[in-house]
Amino acid sequence: MRLLLLLALSLSAFPQSPRDEAYTAAYNLFQQKKWDEAEAAFQKIYSQDPPDLRGLMGLTEVYAAQNQFSRALQILDAEMEKGGPPLLLKTAWGNIAARAGRLDDAIGVFQQLIEANPDNFDLHMRLAESCRLKHDLPRAIEVWAKAMRLNPESLTPILSRAMALDQVGRKPEALAAYNDVLLRQPDNPVAANNAAWILASTDTDLDRALRLANTAVSRSPADPNVADTLAFVYLKRNEPQPAANLLRPLTRSHPKFVALRLRLAEAALALGARDEAASELAAARLLSPTSEQRAEIQRIQSQLR
């Protein structure tokens, strides 16, 4: 199964790097999940005159981390009523709303902010991510395209849009977008892995699929999804032995990964190891396979009869 690694835009309110000792100490308390102490530390920062809004943002993160989303939104509302900076506060409000599952509210806020700030790349990325979370991939694709025009140097909207195109079945466009990423970053593991899957599944260019799958494995050697793609490519190339050699240790290290067991069953069947194939199918049945995986089990099982 290809790796559809979703490069979700961080919806955290924290700055990229803490800038002073008090903020660093509060942030460290947050990282350690010492919620009461972190809340007090951020509250102290926020209570300065004039208020340090990093403290406010820290408070929203403390509450959101404990699923106290309403509380986080309330303090943002209160600060906006005081006349705080609307772009900063409304963006933070949209972030929290998205994390709370209030996706229509988040989308509405980000859309409103974009109307006032049409060239803001960050807002487009947040809107697209909220649309993705809502499973509105067509709109997310459209917004990522706008983000690409606003910041042509960033790979994130290109790759995010490629994965969404892939998910909705627009494979040629997805492959073109993955290729765009690979032109700029030839060893990008997500683009390499996903492009390899498309090439192999369409029998388009199995030599290139193998090169790309190996690139992805070299960059993400611990990811079973990536190894599964490489095994899939081997099987498409009618090379079951390297597929089996790759998969056997992985099914031991990832015993509950259904896709690996199905791929190994297929490789074992191609090698004539019918008992091994049957054993892998039996193990897969016990792992709550998806409907698609159950169909795959039946397909391979029919070849064992």
Judged against a pLDDT cut of 80, whether residue 3 lies above it is answered with no
CA 4 from chain center: how many Å? 7
**Neighbouring C-beta atoms of residue 85, cutoff 10 Å:** 11
Distance CA 46, CA 63 (A): 15
Write down the residue that tokens 């892998």 correspond to. 280
148-176 as b/e, with b when 16 or more CB fall inside 10 Å?
Answer: bebeeeebbbbbbbbbbbbbeebbeebbe
Distance CA 19, CA 84 (A): 21
- The predicted structure's pLDDT at residue 84: 87
* Residue (of 23, 10, 16, 19) closest to 95 by Cα position: 10
- The predicted structure's pLDDT at residue 239: 97
Residues 6+ apart with CB under 8 A from 36: none
Q: What is the DSSP string of 88-132?
A: HHHHHHHHHHHHTT-HHHHHHHHHHHHHH-TT-HHHHHHHHHHHH
Distance CA 262, CA 280 (A): 7
pTM here is 0.87
**Domains along the sequence of the chain with CATH:** 1-100 (1.25.40.10), 238-305 (1.25.40)
Say what percent of the chain tops pLDDT 70.
Answer: 94
- The predicted structure's pLDDT at residue 5: 46
Judged against a pLDDT cut of 90, whether residue 48 lies above it is answered with no
Instruction: Give me the mean pLDDT over the 99-106 stretch.
Output: 96
For 200-256, the pLDDT digits (tens) are 999 989 999 999 999 999 999 989 999 999 999 999 999 999 999 999 999 999 999
For 184-216, the pLDDT digits (tens) are 999 999 999 999 999 999 998 999 999 999 999
Structure tokens at 198: 């498309």
**Neighbouring C-beta atoms of residue 65, cutoff 10 Å:** 15
* Residue (of 153, 123, 159) closest to 141 by Cα position: 159
CA 84 from chain center: how many Å? 33
Q: What is the DSSP string of 209-271?
A: HHHHHHHHHHH-TT-HHHHHHHHHHHHHTT-HHHHHHHHHHHHHHSTT-HHHHHHHHHHHHHT
Secondary structure class of 150 (helix, strand, coil): helix
Distance CA 191, CA 219 (A): 11
